[in-house]
Amino acid sequence: MSDVPTGLDVRLRAMTLEDVPRVHEIDVLSFSLPWPERSYRFEVSQNPNASCWVAEAPAPAGVVGMIVNWIILDEIHIATIAVHPAYRRLGIARRLLAHGLLAGYERGGRLAYLEVRVSNTAAQAMYARFGFTVDGLRPRYYQDNFEDALLMTLNPIDPARLRELQPG
Ligand SMILES: CC(C)(COP(=O)(O)OP(=O)(O)OC[C@H]1O[C@@H](n2cnc3c(N)ncnc32)[C@H](O)[C@@H]1OP(=O)(O)O)[C@@H](O)C(=O)NCCC(=O)NCCS
């Protein structure tokens, strides 16, 4: 357990199948193209390359954020990360990202990458804070509005820097 500045006690732990309905709720509140619930069930229970974490606050809040990473050889692909709208700007995504990247590093990940909407300046600011840089553009990547995706990469991963970003 560690504190975030508001005094809200948030702990990070591995996602379980029981978390999936709540995680899906947060996904729907956060993305215009949410994953179906079955995708989360697959990641948690069947994908050996997945690394899935949640941020949990004391009841009644419960799970307030999640991250799913795919670790393939030395690459960590950040597949999704979101925080419930009522719990944003409290440092929860920063902690999830630092934790997820460190967990991936322990499994051999040495670089990380992700796609982010060009309009999603909040997420881009967070990734920039971690040292991610824009590496390319995937034109018309998103199927709802054909928005472009920026490809952002962190290479190499510096575990000491991630540990600095981890505390609440
Ligand atoms: C992006 C998201 C995950 C950030 O979650 P969060 O818990 O609010 O983020 P944090 O409080 O940990 O903020 C970490 C850093 O991100 C940046 N950031 C986060 N929200 C921001 C905003 N609205 N505007 C500008 N910068 C922002 C800041 O650099 C912030 O550090 P600071 O608070 O010390 O300035 C959250 O806004 C979200 O769930 N959005 C919808 C889903 C999404 O876009 N996911 C990313 C897909 S690529």
Q: Does ligand 1 lie within 6 Å of residue 129's CB atom?
A: yes
Q: Quote the ligand 1 centre to 88 CA distance (angstroms).
A: 7
**Residues with Cβ within 8 Å of residue 122, at least 6 apart in sequence:** none
Q: Does ligand 1 lie within 6 Å of residue 126's CB atom?
A: yes
CA dist., res. 3 & res. 147, Å (int): 37
Distances (CA, A) of 116 to 33, 47, 51, 135, 149: 13, 23, 19, 12, 5
Q: What is the mean pLDDT of residues 23-27?
A: 98
Q: Into how many domains does the chain fold?
A: 1
Q: Does ligand 1 lie within 6 Å of residue 8's CB atom?
A: no
Amino acid at 120: N
pLDDT in tens, 58-85: 999 999 999 999 999 999 999 999 999 9
Amino acid at 140: R
Q: What is the mean pLDDT of residues 25-42?
A: 98
This model's pTM is above 0.85: yes
Q: Which of 25, 75, 115, 147 is catalytic?
A: 115
pLDDT for position 150: 98
Amino acid at 47: N
Would residue 115 show up in a list of annotated catalytic residues for this protein?
A: yes
Distances (CA, A) of 18 to 14, 40, 44: 11, 11, 10
Q: How do 111-117 and 75-83 pair as beta strands?
A: parallel
CA dist., res. 88 & res. 83, Å (int): 6
**What 3-state class would DSSP assign to 115?**
strand
CA dist., res. 54 & res. 131, Å (int): 23
pLDDT for position 7: 58
pLDDT in tens, 81-137: 999 999 999 999 999 999 999 999 999 999 999 999 999 999 999 999 999 999 999
Both tokens assigned to 156:
């190499």
**What CATH number is associated with residue 67?**
3.40.630.30
Domain that holds residue 108: 2-165
